[in-house]
Structure 1
Amino acid sequence: MNGFDWDGWAARDGWDVPPETVGGGQDAVDSLCGWWRRAGGEDPGVLRACGRVLAAMLRAGDGLDVVLRGAVVVDGRFAGCAFGAVDFSDVRFVGDVDFAAARFGGQAVFQRVLCEGDAEFGGAAFAEAAVFGRARFRGAAGFAGARFGDLAWFGRGEDGLSEEDPAWDEIEDAVTPAWQEPNEDDPHWPLAVLDFDYQEWIEGGDGARFAGPVTFRGAGFGADAWFGKARFGDSADFTGAVFGGPVHLPAPTVDLTGARADEDAEHEWPFGWHLHDGELAAGRRDLADPAARLAGVERLASLGDAEPGARAAVARALCEYLRVPLPFAVTGPLTPPRAAELRARRAAQEALAARARPGGWPDLSLHLSGATLVDLDLSGVSVAYGDFCGAQFHGRADFSDAVFERADFCLPGSADGRATFHGPADFTGARLGRHGSPIDGC
């Protein structure tokens, strides 16, 4: 089978014959996955063969556990497979991957995975927590009709460990695939780990990133649906989704038409969406249409000027817009649509900066982790909190005489998730509070 030495593999792992001959079972799956994790990604043909054998064992078994942490999976075809608990943390999926109608009987961990092609989870059923923290989807992602029986986590992707957890001994040796995406250059950004003895669980970094279109149309969420700090670079379709627990989904490009949610639970929706009789209704959606973004920025800023109670929500909406991933590099020649997008982003930056200066909106916080910021001028601002972890600063960045009660330019307690300055930066007279040293390596 593509020249793969099944006999040699089986002998090294205590099997006399390849696992498909034995008939599979949990021991065979563990043996295959153990070899797979050690194999690396040098021979795509062999890795395809491993995937076919694993899928055959899963279809013949009844909820087998799979641990492929850090492995390379080539053209994975797992549609309709029955899994137990799975750990696909840090897996690199080369080509398309298909988990359509798959069943996950235990916890399904896909944190920090890199999907280089399209990823299909349509109709999949997750009985326990589904963890997609800091996953990267470069192609289209499909979760239409998926059922999440427990927590659905698409937020930040750090492992949270206590100070005494022995897993710290392995952190320095952990390796994740390079993202090689525009406007992201910190190789440690997706690998950051929080120390739960010192950080809050909501702190730090970035969530799942969808570079292409994603659909959760008609999906069902039985518990928390956490998309806090997730980033959508294209359309995000949640039409007809049903949310049975708290929802954290502030991204401005999301379409929630006809979605339903529990009115008694705590929710965070994109600006302008609200619940009415259990169904999501669209109010102001200026930032959802790319052609109207510049005008939408101006209207949002004017709304905050007129309604002090809306200012925090307006600031969050503008920051979420600036965190939408850019699919192009901001250096070099720009097409007219790309130049127009940068004009809208500059307008959002200027709107926030103007209102963060004395006489503007008091106690503003700027949540700009992972944002791409061009010619940012925050000189003279007075800000409660600024989160610039992983942000990319292009052109000139001016923080002169800025005052922050707290500013983070890398993930708290580490040098990972750092902000990067691609041009000159002025911090003359700035007071950045604790954790606020972009010059001294955080």
Structure 2
Amino acid sequence: MDPDQLEPDFWPDIDIDLTGATLIDFTLAECTIATVSFRSATFIGGAVFGGAEFGGTAEFGGAKFGGTARFDGAKFGGDAEFHGAEFGGNAWFHGAEFGGFAVFDGAEFGGNARFDLAEFGGDARFGGAEFGGFAVFDGAEFGGNARFDLAEFGGDVWFVGAVHNGRAFVSAKHGVRVRRPADEPDSDEGPSPA
């Protein structure tokens, strides 16, 4: 696919099933799609879904992302399932909107993870997820329950200005450093958008 020739409404009523596929430098940026399944797919190089709109369920369970995975500004109308996904590089979900459940249980983030300004309309589940680098949730809005039970963070975690409207916020594993608004980042890679 030539990303310069994709139109924003290219696949508005199409269901895409690429379960188990191997995809190289893949992009669906700015596309509108009904439902997708990338279960157990392998992404070699970058994977770009920035600004994509998924009308129904988006399944990425068990997918492996070798490079940077970009979901900046993506809109998930149904459930977004990333359980057991492996992000070898950075994972950018800056400004993403999750209309249903956002399931990242058991996901592995090898690089840095950005969920700043993300909107979680349903429950956000990160149970048992492993974050190798920093994790940024600044300005994120949690409309449902937020579950981080048994999540492990290898770097700093930011929740500056995050809003939680659900009934429960289940914390991560002990020993995690969560920054308060008055704290400053340790490096230039901190919470400011890249």
Q: What's the TM-score bracket when you normalise by the shorter of the two chains?
A: 0.7 to 0.9
Match of 2:110 among 216, 219, 222: 222
Partners of 2:150 and 2:175 in 1: CA distance:
11
Q: 1:260 & 1:279 partners in 2: Cα distance?
A: 11
Residue of structure 2 in register with 1:276 after alignment: 174
Matched, 1:150 2:48: no
What is the Cα-based RMSD across aligned positions, in Å?
Answer: 2.6
Relative contact order, higher structure (CA 8 A, sep 6+) = 2
Cα distance in structure 2, aligned partners of 1:37 and 1:76: 20
Cα offset, 1:89, TM superposition: 0.8
Given the alignment of the two structures, is residue 210 of structure 1 paired with residue 98 of structure 2, yes or no?
Answer: yes
Matched, 1:120 2:12: no
Match of 1:256 in 2: 148
Contact kept in structure 2, 1:258 and 1:279, CA below 8 Å: no
Deviation at residue 267 of structure 1 after TM alignment: 1.4
- Kindly report which structure 2 residues correspond to 1:46-61, keeping only aligned pairs within 5 A, or say none: none
| Kept in 2: contact 1:222–1:245 (CA 8 A) | yes
Higher helix proportion: 1
Deviations 1:94-149 (A, max 9, x none): 2x210100100010000000001111000000000000000000011100000000
Give 1:254 deviation, angstroms: 2.0
Q: Scaled by the length of structure 1, what TM-score is found? A: 0.35
Q: Which has the larger radius of gyration?
A: 1
Give the Cα separation in 1 of the matches to 2:27 and 2:37.
16
> What secondary structure, in the 3-state scheme, does the structure 2 residue paired with 1:245 have?
coil
Compute the displacement of 1:92 (Å). 0.8
Which string of whole-angstrom CA distances, capped at 9 and with x for unpartnered residues, describes residues 29-54 of structure 1?
Answer: xxxx46x986xxxxxxxxxxxxxxxx
**What amino acid does structure 2 have at the position aligned with 1:114?**
E
* Aligned ranges 1:121-270 → 2 under 5 Å: 121-155=60-94, 207-250=95-138, 251=140, 252=142, 253-262=145-154, 265-269=155-159
Q: Where has structure 1 moved over 6 Å in runs of 4 or more?
A: none
The structural deviation recorded for 1:150 is 0.6
| Correspondence for 1:81 among 16, 21, 24 | 21
Following superposition, the deviation at residue 274 of structure 1 comes to 6.1
Gaps of 5+ in 2: 183-194
SS state at 1:105 partner: strand
What amino acid is the match of 1:260? Answer: E
Question: Residue 17 of structure 2 aligns to a residue in which SS?
Answer: coil
Distance 1:266 1:275, change over 3 A: same
**Per-residue deviation, 1:88:** 1.1
Aligned-partner residue type, residue 30 of structure 2: D
Number of aligned residue pairs: give it. 167
